[in-house]
Amino acid sequence: MMDFSPAKILACTIFSGIGFAVFIYGKKEKAIPPAVIGAALMAYSYFISETLYLYLIGIALIGVLFIWRD
């Protein structure tokens, strides 16, 4: 069953938008870590159904992006 709560739609929009920008940056700079994390940010919301987990995983991926930068 699909859940279209405003919090879930907001999480998907925010993290997918950030993921798209990071992916484009990684592709332009030919840097693999940002491209992979950007793709993960765009795709993970298709597999997670709980709103809390959407936010936690999105924040964790963005944290990994800041830790993994060179």
Domain ranges in the chain are 14-65
Three-state DSSP at 3 gives: coil
Specify the pTM. Answer: 0.87
Block means of pLDDT (10 residues each) for the chain, 70 residues, are 81 95 95 94 91 94 86
Q: How far is CA 63 from CA 2, 31, 37, 58, 66, in A?
A: 28, 17, 10, 9, 5
Q: What is the pLDDT of residue 2?
A: 63
Identify the DSSP state of 69: -
| Cβ atoms within 10 Å of 12's Cβ, excluding its own | 19
- Of the candidates 16, 14, 51, the one whose C-alpha atom is nearest the C-alpha of residue 37 is 16
